[in-house]
Structure 1
Amino acid sequence: MYSIPFLLAVARVSVVQAVVASSRDGSSETQLTPDAIGDFPAVAFGNVHPTSSTTRPRCKAFPGDSSWPRESEWSRLNNTLGGALIHPLPPGSVCYSTSSNFNAEACSFLLRNASRTTFYQDDPVTILTQWPQGNTCLVSQNPSGNCTQGGYPVYVVNATSVKHVQAAVNFARNKNVRLVVKNTGHDSGGRNTGAGSLSIWTHYLKGFGFLPNYQQPGGNYRGPAARVGAGLQVWEAFAHAERYNVSLPAASCLTVGSYGGWITGGGHSPLSSTFGLGVDQVLSLQVVTADGRYVTANPQANQDLFFAMRGGGGSTYGVVTSAIVKAHPQINLTIASFSFTVANTTSTTPGPSVTIADIETFWKGFNEVFAFGIPTVDAGGYLWTNGIQLGSNSYQMQVQAQMPGLTPIEAASFVQPLLDTLNKLGIPVAITAPTTQVYSSQTGSRGVAPGNGYFASRLFPRSTFENATLFAAAMKAARATVEAGYVFHGLNMAPTLKVAGYPAPAGLNPIWRDVVMHADVFTGANMGALTSAEGAAVQRRLNGYMDALRVATPGGGAYFNEADILEPNWQTSFFGVNYDKLVQVKHERDPWHVFWAPTTPGSEAWAVQASSELPTQNGRLCRV
């Protein structure tokens, strides 16, 4: 008896072998050569300046079309890739008795144990927010209907070298096949999946090299740095950082692949008020562009790509294979935590978790916590909060003041003025002992499972906190979201240009340099259990509450990596005044429209032909 069902484990054997080989012989830098192309023009490089007379079909080739590549062509691609082409079924197919892949033991593993393992993040097609795929093959004990591929890609390239990425890009461009890029699957808007597509799976580009005396071309940066593979996950990057006694700012979720979508969308962390955003860590990018070439983008070479790919949206201009990032001195992260709840019972003993009876006192305390966001970020900190509805007229406020570089005594002293204010209101919170650890020594569950939630976000400029009228309106709107049953998740940070340092500028929405809070508003809806119309109604209701937050935050925006895919006026909200420049880079670098993902610069020219009221990726991609 196998400890993990055989059919699930066997698919990973070749992947693991490829990764081991890559780490041993450095083959991740192997490139596509004329000899490898040979007489197979489908993987030949492109001309970055195609003639104006070149015409392209209105839609990308789709399975069943006469233009869809023949099986012999897919086979030749696999030969070029050295066997790295995967033809995967959805993981949930093992639960469907109508599927040729049905396996009760494997289905039981998915239902009971997979979330405690790395199975889903190591799966070639799984995306961790499922509804953009179309919900056509959900994992269920007794599913109804049939499992279909839906919005999942038809073929996946398990990329463990630059050559793999180049061959995939060239094949997709030359054969007019939709191309998507996926790492660990954390994107919440379906930018990493697509029906009838070829997917480049960068998850196993996990190279790492410490550069203790790195000198940036041009001499503008000298100091410790690291070369990181695009597929390196946070927990893996932290293990390397620990080994060399440095700090590598990375996403808060330990399973995220920080050097792909995280940096191309912006990238915030508990160190954002101290060292800046993810884009501010990047000194150089190694990229495969739409013509299939492998280039270096930095402040001296391919400056347009270096600008656009730091915050200007992923899956748009090229595929990042690796990056060189700053390595900061090792730093501690000290966290002072407390919570307060309003309910029928009360607790008068001071402590880190208390209950009060008066609801208006609770909301006054709610406001005071957020007001403390300004001193927190100005001290280089990160204020983490959750406003939650617990039940009928019962709410909870969870607070963590995450303070890089402070000792527990210093952190307790720093947060005491906020506690004094809350105590005077009648909320007897107290902090017993802040916790502290080396930032890069963070550990935790590496298991993760797909969900089907929905949320939106808002970036709050400093003016909203400093203008009493706007702050009152923002807190009123935030309260309304919690009273409506949403979770209001606030993250106070200030990634200013001063803390960001060299290099600048970036394609990131410039509003980030004036931000003092990024807030997510989460619904409790399971979008997988709803019809298309019901899901669209969930989105419309949430958008109504978000409108009040938008009015209270003039000049704000939304975080591209964590946002409603139907964000109104997304071009400005996600990218601000940089949008037109980003579109120009897109057109110049990708005249073939090889790369496409929803709500990325220039994406308006294409749309997925789907019947759903929500923008799923389960459909043919065509020009508008």
Structure 2
Amino acid sequence: MRTPSTPLVLLLITVVKVTGKVFPFESVQLTESETTDFRAVAFGNTEAAPPWSSITQRCRAWPGSRAWPSESDWEQLNITLGGSLLRPLPAASACYQGESYNQTTCEWLINQSSRTHFWIDEPLSTLTQWPQGSTCPLTLDPPGTCTKGGFPEYVVNATTVKHVQAAVNFARNKNVRLVIKNTGHDFGGRSMGAGSLSIWVHNLKDFEFIPEYNVGRYSGMAVQVGAGVESWEHFNHMAANNITVVAPGGGTVGAVGGWVTVAGHGSLTSKYGLGADQVLSINVVTADGQFLTVDPNTHKDLWWALRGGGPSTFGVITSVVLKAYPPISTIRSSLAFTVDPSLNDTRPPQDPNALTNLTSFWYGVSLAYHYCPKIIGAGGYCFSYITPLGGSSFRFTSSQIVPDISSSDYTALLQPLYAELNTVHRIPVGAPPANTRPTLYAGDGRRTGAGDFPVNTRYRSRLFPASLWDNPDQAAWAATFAAIRAGVEEGGYTFHGIAYSPTLEKAGWPTTDNGSGSAVHPAWRTTALHGSFMEVQPEGIGAAEATVRDRKASEYLARLDAVFEEFANDAPRGAYMNEGDPAEEEWQTMFYGDKNYARLLDIKKKWDPWGVFWARTTVGGERWEVNTEDGYPMSQNGRLCRVVTKK
């Protein structure tokens, strides 16, 4: 957090509390005079930029090539940045023979680091490893040597807007690939890239509560949140100020940035809408290096695009102003049951409450999902997993979270579900929770670490239209659940289902502003479930096997698509990019919607004609590709080059 030391900074703090326009770190900006002697950080001019279709530079500069910035260039950049330029090695290099080898550190990384915040605070790592290329796996007995692979070459530890501006300008002027990273909650490789310069916004931790904020039709409480604030920190700020703010459910997910620019879901989605629906103002550094405040009255095209139009696309967000609400309490409870047909044998059962009949298990799971709209109707949220345990054994777990409800009403809401599970399907789940105590939504913040360990998680997701639940003869839901079951039972995937309803009515203004709206995919407004087929992609597999696994996953998504086409043909097709498949073939349609994408692409051409900001499946992403040596699908371990269109 900042420590004011001058009257100017004190004045800026006063301004922030009243208007929420600028943080002290945002007042430290790159000036024209600072670029005079070092033109590599000079500002850009979008009007003088080459045409979008120009192919003057086929590929981004590559380390070791003639086009790569010289050592003196990097040294001068570091001087401009005040020493914040890092060139870190992969953390796992401690396990490899050489100058970085340290057996104690290696053992700690393997055995203890997941209990800490280490990987979230590490400048290179992301929580999904496979896009990196597996060139430096974390192991006590490593094969070969450790190389950076898809990790960035340099990292700017951004603590001021000046740092962000200098990095953007340097990357643009020197034709260096640029990536943006916060905590590394990245399942598609957007926060890494071989031969790149990374802007690490993780330490932009400022937060301000604004008791009165007025813009357009909004008048009420608000908060301004720095780009590096994590959800657990966000919750603690809520508790300290006795307010509620819509936030990510995962404790170490960034509270703004990639969360709000894609859509952003959480426990209050059915009550207050998506993360993107909360935004009232955005501070951002654009591709020309300029620092702008974007709101309903300023830069209206960017205002529309930045709320739902994708991350790493239009600029580097430094802070966001969000709606704030009076403190709200929530009630949550868990529902869980398993099936293990082998328990009919003579061996002792591992779980005395486990089912032995697969039919009963799947009936129960289907019923639980089919019941979710009733919980959504109360403003609630179902968070669930169907997990294969090996053989014909499976586990179903679900949390039902409802805000602003009494204990008695909550128990009554769940009573029909528990009664049918117990009586009709003979699933021993007991009685619905009674005397459940509400907990303040603003009081859930804690510094988390356990589980935040790099793994090779792959998500393939869809937004399920709400109309699938409305079919009178249940044919639509039966077909939908059959496709889910096939993915788990035949495909071996874990199904992760999150039920909510972020309608336009819930979103409110400014999303409902006819003059601006937002770039959020229309499918969000008609969904009742975000569902993903999840797997851990094995380390060490080659490009051929990875391609086969991608094709297999696409087949199970295609089964869902066929059901949607048959029973919900009028609903827009969509998926959540933050938990979607980077190999999605129709990603423009699935992550943005066709009409939105065309408009977003025009805005991209206007604000970033150089293509400074690029990541897989972001707007304009089809113009570039990563040329890997081994052809591993969606890997970021290779040089970024323009796609050559054959005439």
**Shorter-chain TM-score above 0.5:** yes
Q: 2:476 aligns with which of 470, 475, 496?
A: 470
Aligned twin of 1:368: 367
Aligned twin of 2:348: none
Aligned twin of 1:621: 640
Task: Give the SS at the match of 1:609.
Answer: strand
Q: What is the one-letter code of the residue matched to 2:616?
A: P
Aligned twin of 2:485: 479
Q: Distance in 2 between matches of 1:124 and 1:254?
A: 18
- 1:562 matched to 2:568? The reply is no
Aligned twin of 1:235: 232
Is the Cα contact below 8 Å between 1:95 and 1:141 reproduced in 2? yes
Q: Distance in 2 between matches of 1:23 and 1:125?
A: 32
Task: Give the SS at the match of 2:47.
Answer: coil
Across the aligned residues of Structure 1 and Structure 2, the Cα RMSD in angstroms comes to: 1.9
Q: Distance in 2 between matches of 1:334 and 1:239?
A: 19
Q: 2:614 aligns with which of 571, 596, 603?
A: 596
Please, which moves more after superposition, 330-339 or 24-33?
24-33
**What's the offset of the Cα at 1:361?**
1.8
Q: Distance in 1 between matches of 2:378 and 2:352?
A: 25
Aligned twin of 1:442: 444
- 1:34 matched to 2:41? The reply is no
**What's the offset of the Cα at 1:108?**
1.5
Unaligned runs of 5+ in 2: 10-23, 345-350, 512-516, 566-571
Q: 1:531 aligns with which of 522, 525, 542?
A: 542
Task: Give the SS at the match of 1:246.
Answer: coil
Q: Distance in 1 between matches of 2:4 and 2:150?
A: 30
Q: Distance in 2 between matches of 1:522 and 1:377?
A: 24
Q: How does 1:117-266 map to 2 (within 5 A)?
A: 117-216=116-215, 218=216, 220-266=217-263
Please, which moves more after superposition, 314-323 or 404-413?
404-413
Please, which moves more after superposition, 333-342 or 44-53?
44-53
Aligned twin of 1:57: 57
Task: Give the SS at the match of 2:394.
Answer: strand
CA separation of 1:410 and 1:529: change in aligned 2, threshold 3 A: farther
* TM superposition score normalised by structure 1: 0.93
Q: What is the one-letter code of the residue matched to 1:582?
A: L
**What's the offset of the Cα at 1:51?**
5.1
- 1:94 matched to 2:94? The reply is yes
Q: Distance in 1 between matches of 2:48 and 2:621?
A: 20
Q: Distance in 2 between matches of 1:200 and 1:569?
A: 29
Q: Distance in 1 between matches of 2:153 and 2:357?
A: 56
Task: Give the SS at the match of 2:335.
Answer: strand
Task: Give the SS at the match of 1:328.
Answer: coil
- 1:335 matched to 2:347? The reply is no
Is the Cα contact below 8 Å between 2:156 and 2:200 reproduced in 1? yes
Deviations 1:167-222 (A, max 9, x none): 10011111111110001011100011101110000001111111001111x3x110
Is the Cα contact below 8 Å between 2:49 and 2:609 reproduced in 1? no
Q: 1:522 aligns with which of 523, 534, 540?
A: 534
Task: Give the SS at the match of 2:438.
Answer: strand
Aligned twin of 1:6: none
Is the Cα contact below 8 Å between 2:49 and 2:610 reproduced in 1? no
Q: Distance in 1 between matches of 2:49 and 2:92?
A: 45
**What's the offset of the Cα at 1:573?**
0.5
Aligned twin of 1:356: 355
Task: Give the SS at the match of 1:335.
Answer: strand
CA separation of 1:117 and 1:486: change in aligned 2, threshold 3 A: same
**What's the offset of the Cα at 1:52?**
4.7
Task: Give the SS at the match of 1:329.
Answer: coil
Is the Cα contact below 8 Å between 1:464 and 1:474 reproduced in 2? yes
Q: How does 1:306-325 map to 2 (within 5 A)?
A: 306-325=303-322
Please, which moves more after superposition, 280-289 or 479-488?
479-488
Q: What is the one-letter code of the residue matched to 1:37?
A: T
Task: Give the SS at the match of 2:66.
Answer: coil
Aligned twin of 2:13: none
- 1:587 matched to 2:605? The reply is yes
Task: Give the SS at the match of 1:79.
Answer: helix
Q: What is the one-letter code of the residue matched to 1:619?
A: G
CA separation of 1:514 and 1:80: change in aligned 2, threshold 3 A: same
CA separation of 1:524 and 1:590: change in aligned 2, threshold 3 A: closer
Q: Distance in 1 between matches of 2:573 and 2:499?
A: 14
Deviations 1:126-182 (A, max 9, x none): 111011011111111110011111111111100011111001001111111111000
Task: Give the SS at the match of 1:412.
Answer: helix
Is the Cα contact below 8 Å between 1:338 and 1:398 reproduced in 2? yes
Q: 1:277 aligns with which of 274, 283, 289?
A: 274
Aligned twin of 2:21: none
Is the Cα contact below 8 Å between 2:236 and 2:444 reproduced in 1? no
Is the Cα contact below 8 Å between 1:48 and 1:591 reproduced in 2? yes
Q: Distance in 1 between matches of 2:447 and 2:205?
A: 20
Task: Give the SS at the match of 1:529.
Answer: coil
Task: Give the SS at the match of 1:206.
Answer: coil
Q: Distance in 2 between matches of 1:390 and 1:51?
A: 55
Deviations 1:30-82 (A, max 9, x none): 11112322311111111111255886311111111111111111111111111
Matched pairs, number: 597
Deviations 1:430-461 (A, max 9, x none): 23444631112224561121111222111001
Task: Give the SS at the match of 1:425.
Answer: coil
Deviations 1:525-548 (A, max 9, x none): 42x232222222222222211211
Q: Distance in 2 between matches of 1:496 and 1:229?
A: 27
**What's the offset of the Cα at 1:469?**
2.6
CA separation of 1:52 and 1:81: change in aligned 2, threshold 3 A: closer
- 1:72 matched to 2:83? The reply is no
Q: Distance in 2 between matches of 1:392 and 1:23?
A: 64
**What's the offset of the Cα at 1:311?**
1.2
- 1:501 matched to 2:508? The reply is yes
Please, which moves more after superposition, 322-331 or 417-426?
417-426
- 1:544 matched to 2:562? The reply is no
CA separation of 1:469 and 1:71: change in aligned 2, threshold 3 A: same
CA separation of 1:530 and 1:320: change in aligned 2, threshold 3 A: same
Is the Cα contact below 8 Å between 1:37 and 1:80 reproduced in 2? no
Q: What is the one-letter code of the residue matched to 1:591?
A: P
Q: Distance in 1 between matches of 2:134 and 2:109?
A: 16
Unaligned runs of 5+ in 1: 1-18, 347-351
Q: Distance in 1 between matches of 2:383 and 2:41?
A: 48
CA separation of 1:178 and 1:518: change in aligned 2, threshold 3 A: same
Is the Cα contact below 8 Å between 1:263 and 1:310 reproduced in 2? yes
Please, which moves more after superposition, 414-423 or 47-56?
47-56
Q: Distance in 2 between matches of 1:188 and 1:51?
A: 33
CA separation of 1:329 and 1:76: change in aligned 2, threshold 3 A: same
CA separation of 1:393 and 1:568: change in aligned 2, threshold 3 A: same
* TM superposition score normalised by structure 2: 0.89
CA separation of 1:353 and 1:159: change in aligned 2, threshold 3 A: farther
Aligned twin of 2:107: 108
- 1:457 matched to 2:468? The reply is no
Q: Distance in 2 between matches of 1:438 and 1:312?
A: 32
Please, which moves more after superposition, 103-112 or 196-205?
103-112
Aligned twin of 2:16: none
Deviations 1:218-238 (A, max 9, x none): 3x1100000100110001111
Q: Distance in 2 between matches of 1:454 and 1:30?
A: 39
Q: Percent identity?
A: 45
**What's the offset of the Cα at 1:464?**
1.7
Q: Distance in 1 between matches of 2:537 and 2:392?
A: 20
Task: Give the SS at the match of 2:411.
Answer: helix
